[in-house]
Amino acid sequence: MHVSCKKRLGLIVFAGLMLVALTHFWSHGTTSTVDIRSRQDRPTKKRLSGKNGAAANEYHDIPYHIKKDVASRLAHNSCVCLADEETVHLPFSDLLFPRVWAQNIDQDFLEFHPNPEGIIRHRAQEYSSFQERSYNPADVLIISEANSPLQYPTQGVEVRPLKTIIVPGLSLKEEPRPEHKVYLIATLGLGTFNVAAAVDEVSVKGEGEKEMILSSPSLRALNRQLQFVTYTNTVFHPKTADTIQFATEAHQAFFTVKVGHETVPKLYNSGYQEEYNITALVTIATKTFLRYDKLKDLIDSIRLYYPTVTIVIADDNEHPQPVKGPYIDHYIMPFGKGWFAGRNLAVSQVTTKYVLWVDDDFIFTANTKLERMVDILEKTTLDLVGGAVREVTGYTATYRHTISVEEGDGDGDCLHIRNGYHHIIEGFPNCVVVDAVINFFMGQTDKVRQAGFDPRLSRFAHLEFFIDGLGSLHVGSCSDVVVNHASKIQLPWTKTESQKSYEKFRYSPSKGYASLRNEVFYFKNRFKCMTSH
């Protein structure tokens, strides 16, 4: 009896140690809590704009003369759509002399909308959210005060392709001398300089060229002239930067002018409501193959909680069966096209702001609260959030990973994958920031499409999506949104032919596929090695 008690005690201690080890293994990460709510750094922007405005007003008393040919090319922070007037009245004149046409989209759209004020308010709200998500502190204009004695912008100067801007913040702070002189050089040759207004007592040489020299016996007049210096991009490129040299005879400084189109917003008109309308916000996407019975169970479980949410199904069965019902879009693919190709197809058909990915053998329960996922995506800068999957054994998995790429040599970089997370999200104690999550996640539709799914990966693939999205996807994981996993435990003699065929496709080893996966990592991602738990 005494020996039996000791054995039981030993088993209890061993089980406890194993539980601690597993908890550490699966939940490893920092315990810090970080605020990642959607917000712009308004205090910093306010302080910087105040300093920049004060500098601009320093020489307001010095007169200047507008150069209309240069100033007319500057942006005026307001746009109008004007059509060309018809000047030639001849048959087929529109073909011979094509005119610019214009359309007032806001007027045409709002005139027939049943709730124009509501749609304007909802559009403004969505745009504000978009701006907060796309805000980058590195884009804020910062002026380096004259410590050298050159004053110039260190970041935040942008110009649209082939457009003109005033170069902000240029100034010279030095002791009086007979002549004050500065040079401006577009070192990469992507643009030219000019002045939007001429200041008396200032000599300007090189207007309209890649190098311009400004000089004056009056330092105040020179600094006033520097407030009108323009930069015009002359080499079209949708996204690049020119390096500008700003110098005197004894000092030099460099700054960049970013050239690129402004990101066009992609807003989703889900309707303005006080509470989340999941039907208008979320589409559920899945891929099915040889498991129509499982798919039916998934759909039935979804309809218990979300009867009107659209379900998009990608199907690459050899002999597809009809999948009918309200709010179901069933797309047939070529036979055996594969896992990631099916994901691409399904996601490509989503028209809502968010897409929820589920496997076809998942089961929704009362704990599968999509509102929770929407809430964290709406209130933080996350692009994608994963949930948890409860197995039939009762074990709940979150599959949290961090991914990092270590710069290598000429042979490639090193990929490192670890179990764990970066930090806890403030306001969401059950959620953490990670780089990869389990195969049950909700993401912004456009961001998921941006990362994409390599269609060559037809069978074993999951982490590859998050590796491709590293650097563009901000990912989180919440353990309190749970979906059930249908049981995979089945006796061999009870399996149907369909189940056997599925396992043959899904689990049979393939040297060719392993070679393809290695090729993807080696060639496409330029990795030379990978480490992982």
Q: Are residues 383 and 528 in the same domain?
A: yes
Burial group, residue 509, by CB count within 10 angstroms (0-12, 13-18, 19+): exposed
Predicted confidence (pLDDT) at residue 356 exceeds the cutoff of 70: yes
Does residue 312 lie in a domain region?
A: yes
Does residue 120 lie in a domain region?
A: no
Last residue of a domain, one of 234, 260, 286: 260
459-483: pLDDT as tens digits: 778 999 999 999 899 999 999 999 9
Measured CA distances, 170 to 72, 143, 183, 227, 247 (Å): 21, 8, 11, 7, 11
Percentage with pLDDT > 90 across the chain: 51
Strand partners, 311: 284, 328
Q: Are residues 219 and 309 in the same domain?
A: no
CATH of the domain at 522: 3.90.550.10
Average pLDDT over residues 226-231: 97
- Comparing 102-111, 144-153, 224-233, 325-334, which segment has the lowest mean pLDDT? 102-111
3-state secondary structure of 474: coil
Q: Are residues 172 and 294 in the same domain?
A: no
Residue 32: which of 432, 419, 471 has the closest Cα?
Answer: 432
Strand partners, 241: 258
Does residue 37 lie in a domain region?
A: no
Does residue 128 lie in a domain region?
A: no
The two beta strands, 475-485 and 362-363, are: antiparallel
Percentage with pLDDT > 70 across the chain: 78
Instruction: Give me the pLDDT at residue 68, please.
Output: 85
State how far the Cα of 393 lies from the Cα of 210, in Å rounded to an integer.
71
Q: Which domain holds residue 484?
A: 278-532
Q: Are residues 364 and 400 in the same domain?
A: yes
Does residue 235 lie in a domain region?
A: yes
Instruction: Give me the pLDDT at residue 20, please.
Output: 42
Predicted confidence (pLDDT) at residue 47 exceeds the cutoff of 60: no
Find tokens 């807003």 and name the residue. 267
State how far the Cα of 25 lies from the Cα of 440, in Å rounded to an integer.
21
Does residue 492 lie in a domain region?
A: yes
Q: Are residues 205 and 318 in the same domain?
A: no
pTM assigned to the model: 0.77
Q: Are residues 240 and 364 in the same domain?
A: no
Q: Are residues 355 and 421 in the same domain?
A: yes
Q: Are residues 282 and 256 in the same domain?
A: no
Last residue of a domain, one of 260, 286, 314: 260
50-106: pLDDT as tens digits: 555 555 677 888 888 888 888 887 876 666 667 777 766 666 666 666 666 666 767
Q: Are residues 235 and 283 in the same domain?
A: no
Average pLDDT over residues 225-233: 96
CATH of the domain at 216: 2.60.40
Q: Are residues 255 and 307 in the same domain?
A: no
509-532: pLDDT as tens digits: 566 667 777 888 888 888 888 888
Predicted confidence (pLDDT) at residue 347 exceeds the cutoff of 70: yes
112-127: pLDDT as tens digits: 888 888 888 888 888 7
285-309: pLDDT as tens digits: 999 988 899 999 999 999 999 999 9
Q: How many independent structural domains does the chain possess? A: 2
Q: Are residues 192 and 332 in the same domain?
A: no
Q: CB within 8 A of 64, min separation 6: which ones?
A: 197, 198, 199, 224, 225, 228
Does residue 100 lie in a domain region?
A: no
Does residue 19 lie in a domain region?
A: no
146-203: pLDDT as tens digits: 678 999 998 899 999 999 999 999 999 999 999 999 999 999 899 999 999 999 999 9
State the sign of the Cα–Cα–Cα–Cα dihedral 498, 500, 501, 506: positive
Q: Are residues 326 and 394 in the same domain?
A: yes
User: Who has greater pLDDT, 269 or 134?
Assistant: 269
